[in-house]
Structure formats: C-alpha cells, structure tokens
Structure 1
C-alpha cells in the first residue's frame, strides 16, 4: 500500500518514507491511498493484538513488517478500559467512559507517541546497519499533552533528540512541568504566542527543504501518519469487544482540537470496526462548530480556554477529513456532528459529574460528558462512550475546587512531577527556530 498527500502534488509514497518525513513535501498530510476493510473483526483480550491486526495492512510493504508485533507490544502495554458510568435515565450499560489516560503521561497521546517512537527507532536501526543514521530531530508543537507523550516515548532513545514547542502560559502548570522535566535528549521551548503559532513554526521547518538537508527532521504531531493510524486501534478494540458482549455498535464522543483523535475514530469505522456514530466536542474555539453548522471553513485566532489542549483555531487534520469526503462539504457535514462547549459549561459539567456520572473528568473530557447529557435529554438511548482524553490530576487547579476534594495523580505522573523542569523562551519567529534546529545537536542554554 502506498500513501498520498491530501494536496495531491506528490507521487504515491512508501509508508517508511511517509513516517520519516512526517509532513508531505507539498505541505499536505499523508493518507493511505485507500482505507482497507478487514475481512473479520474478532475481539481480543489484548489491545496490542487488536493494534497489530489494524495496522498490519498498512505495514505489509514496510521494512517494519516483521517488527510490528514487538512495536505494538511495547506501545500498547497498558489498557484502554471502557468503564460503565452512572447514567441519568438511560438504563444500564449505556453510558461509558473510555479511559485513554493510563499511559506514562496520563493522556491518550501516549499510545501513538510510543508506537511512532518504536517505528522510527526500527527504521533508524536499518539505516544504522548501513552507516547512514545521523541524529534525528523530532519536532513537536503541543497545546499541552502531545509534547509530554512524545518526550516520554523518545526520552533516552539513541539517535533521537526532541524539540517541543508550546504556547507560554497557555498550558496547565502540571502540563508545563511534564514538558520540561525530561532533560538529556529532550528540550522544551516556551513560545510567545498561541498553539497555532507553534504549529505554524513546526510546519515551516518540516517544509523547509534546505533545513532538512542539513538536519534530519520528523514530526510527532497528529499531522504524522505515525500518530493517526495507531490511534485507530483503541477505537477498534473497544468497539469490537463491546459488539461481542452487547450485540450493538458503540457510538463515540470524541473531545477534539486538532482532529487527530477524531480522524482515528473515523479510520477505525471505515476499516469495518463496529463503531457507530461519531460526535465531536470542542471548546469555545469554534472553527469546527461554525463549519459543521453550514458556514465556510474559516479559522480564527485561538482563544484560551479551560480545555487548553483543544485550543486550536486552525485544525490541521481538517485536510484529512475533507480529502476522505472528496472535498464535498455536504458529505462531510452529513458524516460528523460537532458541539462547542464554553468554559462556564465545562465548569458546571465537572462540578456535577461525580453525582451525575460517578466520575471526575478533566476539562476536555467534560466537553464530551456535556454532549452526552444533551443526547440523553433529547431521548437518545443508544450506547455512547465518551473518550476520556487525560487524567483529571493534570488539571488539579481547575478540577479540585469544582469537585471539592484532591485528585491524586497516577504513579507515573507523580514521578514526573517530582523531577525538576526547565523550558527556555523562544520567539514566535521562524528564523529563530531555524537557527536553533540548524545548530543541532541542541545544547541546553542555547536560548
């Protein structure tokens, strides 16, 4: 199977090259030439086994084909449980929390970041055997959680260094700590701007052919094919097991900002997994709600919200959605519905969640819970799972006053919080970033 760009200006590309590049040379996002339908879907006990089945068709022609099982075993070594919630009037086994926060940085992005790290390490091992394996710089823009997941996945991996760009003052204190606590081959930079500025800088670097001839660069953002495909695995796993147990499709609510996790749910459904309807919840950044309500697609400057990891004004993966619907806005609007949720509603949802649902959500998960509540009020009795994208302890300054008690961090998060952290300031200026990257290996204190 080959992979093409959403912008259609490059020849079909092998998956190994697409993974290494991150962004297509024409500035588009890589997508499969076709999304394969699996012949059968059998529930498995292990998420890693489902992941291998989901990913195998894409890696059939890859040099990583024989390593795929081992990469999946390492990347999906922790579960993604589907836990029943206490629903208001919807009956038993109808409201579920899809817990995607049991990895080392307590966010859903741990799964795909670990898969991508294993895949790129495998590709580098093949190059090392021929003596052509210089240090690879993993460049990542983050609105809060991606950077920490990528840092954890690549920390101390020989042959890799990680450069994290995040908007200064626009992530939670614990998220910021999780970006700067790694050291060694991981550097974090505080950008004077928004996440969209960070994303713009990363895309400029990845599209800079002269720079990439000097410094091998890869992306670990959701623009990377190596982030998109692995995330489809946990939706397929939960839906397949749910269908086997309940004889019904599992409908999912996905809190989203840059649309990577949402696209992954769509890929799982298109591969034939028993995923039912997909609904998206956003925060007050309303680019997507306005578009899906019928307006033209028109990104706006990012607004800071309580659900900061979704503070995105120009979601990159919208290109993938449009590509998969042949650029037909009516088809795309008919396939997915989106609900925006403001900060006041997020606060009210968090405060009521222990009583109403029996859970304590992070602000992002709260947007999904609110959408579930709206569906129940409208009489929808189908089974719905809300993707819990991060552990609430990452946002203790928001969550704890609303629920009235401390929220203990999981052990891995507590361990990272115990480490010293540092992030250096960097202007939202491409010339500054380019100079930094061209000076690789990047030394602490260079900015």
Structure 2
C-alpha cells in the first residue's frame, strides 16, 4: 500500500517512508491510498472476540501488504496490553475509558504502536531518528513513555511553558535517557509551528533524520481506530443508531473514528466537542475554516487554534465539505460549562476529567436534538491528570493511581526555548556536533 499527501494526491510513498518521515515534503499529511472495508459479518463477530483479536483483523486489513502476519501480531500485542472498557453513565450514554494505559491517556495506544512500528521499519545502521513532538499535554507523556529506551531513537518534546498540568509535565520532563523536553515560551500552536518548520527545512533534513510522533504521523493516528471497533462491539445491541462524541483539539482522534466508519463500522454520527478553541465547530456550522490563536482553558489538551488533522478529516470524506458537515456535528463549551458538567455527573457515580466533560456535553446536546441514539463519549484521560481542576470542581480530594502519583516524585529537567525557529534550528543542529 502506498500513502499520498493531502496536499498532492500524486505524491505517494511507501509505508516505511510515510512513518519515518511523518510529514510530506509539501507539508501535507499522509493518507492510505485505499481504505479497506471489512465484511459486515466480520464486524458483527467482534462482539465474541477479545481486543487483540479485533486488532489483528483491523490492522491486518490495513497493513497486510507491508507487514507479515507475525509482525502484525507482534505490533498489536505490544500495543493492546490494557483494556478500554465502556462504562454506562446514564441510560443510553456510555463512557469509553481510554486511560488504562501507562500514562493514563488515550494517546498510549498510538504511541506504543508508533514506537514499535518505527523500530520495525527503521533500516539497521541508519542514522539516529529524531522524533519531534509538540504537545499540549498528553501527547508528550504518551510518546515519551512509549519511546523510552528505544534504540536508535531520540525524542524531543516541545511544550508551552505554564500551560500544561503538573502531572502531565512530570510524565515527560523527568524521564531522561533518550527523552529531551524543551519548555517553549509560547502556546501550543507555537510549538507545533516550530516542529512543522523543522520538517520543511532542507538544511536540517540533510543533516538529521527527523520524524514526528504527533497524530500527523499515520503510525500514531491509524491505531486509534481500534478502540472504536472494540467499543462498538461491547455496546448492547438495542437496534438504535450509534453516535460517538469526541473531545477534540488536533482532531486526530475523531479522524481515527471516521477511518473506522469508512472501514465499515456502522457509526451513524460523530460529535466534535471542543472548548472555546472552536475553529472546527464554527466550520461545521458553515463558516470558512480559519486558524486562530489558541486560548488557554481548563481542558488544556484541546487548546489548539490550528488543528493539524483538519485536512485529513476532509480527505476521509472525499473532500466533500457538505458530507463532512452532514456526518459530523460540532459543539463548543466554556470552562464554566465544563466544570458544571463535572459537578453534574459526579452524583451519578462517575468522575469526569475536563476533556471527557466536554465530550459528555457534546453528546448530551446532540442526543437532545436527535432522539433515538445510543451515545458514547470518549473519556480520554484519568481525572487525576487534571487534579486541580477536578478537585476544585468537586471540592474533594482525588486518590491518584500509584503509577500516576509516582511521576510526581521525579525531578523536572527541561531546556528553556523561545519561539524563534532560528533558536530551535540551532539547538537541533547542535545535536550531532
């Protein structure tokens, strides 16, 4: 299978090239030239299969032209070492809990898959791969822990100073080894811009082998479709249509759900739920897509004003804007509404994190306007990762899981960085000197 650039469908590369380079030279995102459709009977049989068995079938359909059966099994087994249960919160409303991995966030799935696939595809004796990652929170921790200790790979994480929760920050600034954290004096979009500029700089790419482990990399993005298949297989068979509500920032996660839909998973509708960084909800309501400066909120992992995966969403719908707007509904919520949702759901016996709260609100609004659905919202991180927000909302202390609390004991080690590309380029050029 070849992979084309969203900016130029005539530019096509192999799986290895797409994964190792991450971003196309024309700044486009790579997409598979064909999206396989799984037989209806196979999808129906998933209710009798385990998570890994479902993974073998889905990843096999996507990668069988490039990887052997044993490689696909090894890749899936490495990725799916923890569960992603659905939990009923209200009648016809379920939470898909994606925080049972090593860093307690949904990005553990993609990061583990990406690190394993990259190590499989890397040519022996090739120069060191430098993975550049811009993070607004959970990407940094998931990628850092997914790639920690991987031979031949160095990870450089850029994060906005003062705009990431303490626990998120500790998860990628205390590891050492092959992980370096750059504390950028700016916002997430500045970090993302620096990474994209580095990928497009000819001098840097002549000297260094640079790639990405953000969701712009297909190896981070594609495996996220697995938990949509798994969640759907675990829903009660009521005959009602199914809607998934996805708290969205860079829009890779909802894109993976749409990929699953394109592969035959009968999801009727998606809800793109955001905080006040509402570029995509505005677009879905008829505005032109227009990137804007990001705004800081209590759901900081979604503080993105220029979502990188937007071209991928359009591509999944054949660049048909009308179809995109028909199948995806956009909603946005203030910090006050987010906190109120955390407070409202707690008496039901469930604790939301700020991002799951936004997803929950989007789902509730969609279902009030469109009766007759079963809905799933994605709980993308453990509430303990946003301890201050959740404890303030509920006026009670959260008990942190042991592995999360352990990160707080580590010593933060970062390199301060301005938002000038020349400064960042100078840092990168000095890596091999």
Q: Which TM-score applies when normalising by structure 2?
A: 0.95
1:294-333 Cα deviation digits (max 9, x unpaired): 1111111110011110000011110111223333322221
Partner of 1:263: 255
Partner of 1:18: 18
1:361-382 Cα deviation digits (max 9, x unpaired): 1111110111233245446242
The equivalences for 1:112-127 within 5 A come to: 112-124=110-122, 127=123
Q: Does 1:46 align with 2:39?
A: no
The equivalences for 1:104-143 within 5 A come to: 104-124=102-122, 127-128=123-124, 132-143=125-136
Give the 3 Å change call, closer, same or farther, for CA 5–261 of structure 1 in structure 2: same
Partner of 1:55: 59
Local SS of the residue matching 2:31: strand
1:252-282 Cα deviation digits (max 9, x unpaired): 1100010000100000011012323111100
Partner of 2:179: 186
Partner of 1:307: 299
Local SS of the residue matching 1:56: helix
Partner Cα separation in structure 1 for residue 178 and residue 9 of structure 2: 35
The worse-fitting range, judged by mean Cα deviation, of 96-105 and 9-18 is: 9-18
The equivalences for 1:80-99 within 5 A come to: 80-85=84-89, 87=90, 91=91, 94-99=92-97
Runs (4+) of structure 1 exceeding 6 A deviation are none
Q: Does 1:4 align with 2:4?
A: yes
Partner Cα separation in structure 1 for residue 354 and residue 134 of structure 2: 21
Local SS of the residue matching 1:298: coil
Q: Where in structure 1 are there 5+ consecutive unaligned residues?
A: 443-447
Give the 3 Å change call, closer, same or farther, for CA 155–264 of structure 1 in structure 2: same
Q: Where in structure 2 are there 5+ consecutive unaligned residues?
A: none
Partner Cα separation in structure 2 for residue 97 and residue 302 of structure 1: 27
How many angstroms does 1:246 deviate by?
4.3
Partner of 1:215: 208
The worse-fitting range, judged by mean Cα deviation, of 398-407 and 253-262 is: 398-407
Partner of 2:137: 144
Partner of 2:332: 340
Local SS of the residue matching 1:265: helix
1:60-91 Cα deviation digits (max 9, x unpaired): 22256531111111111001001111x2xxx4
2:276 to 284, 305, 326: 284
Local SS of the residue matching 1:189: strand
Partner of 1:380: 371
Local SS of the residue matching 2:133: strand
Local SS of the residue matching 2:373: coil
Q: Does 1:421 align with 2:412?
A: yes
1:3-45 Cα deviation digits (max 9, x unpaired): 1000116532111111111001111000011211012212154
Partner of 2:346: 354
Is the contact between residue 250 and residue 383 of structure 1 (CA under 8 Å) also seen in structure 2?
yes
1:67 to 71, 79, 86: 71
Q: Does 1:161 align with 2:154?
A: yes
How many angstroms does 1:405 deviate by?
1.7
Is the contact between residue 194 and residue 421 of structure 2 (CA under 8 Å) also seen in structure 1?
yes
Is the contact between residue 244 and residue 363 of structure 2 (CA under 8 Å) also seen in structure 1?
no
Local SS of the residue matching 1:250: strand
Is the contact between residue 242 and residue 249 of structure 1 (CA under 8 Å) also seen in structure 2?
no
Local SS of the residue matching 1:267: helix
Cα RMSD after superposing both structures: 1.7
Partner of 2:357: 366
The equivalences for 1:312-331 within 5 A come to: 312-331=304-323
Q: Which TM-score applies when normalising by structure 1?
A: 0.92
1:206 to 174, 195, 199: 199
Local SS of the residue matching 1:11: strand
Q: Does 1:28 align with 2:28?
A: yes
The equivalences for 1:240-259 within 5 A come to: 240-242=233-235, 245-259=237-251
Partner Cα separation in structure 1 for residue 70 and residue 20 of structure 2: 18
How many angstroms does 1:396 deviate by?
0.7
Is the contact between residue 269 and residue 275 of structure 1 (CA under 8 Å) also seen in structure 2?
yes
Partner Cα separation in structure 2 for residue 209 and residue 66 of structure 1: 37
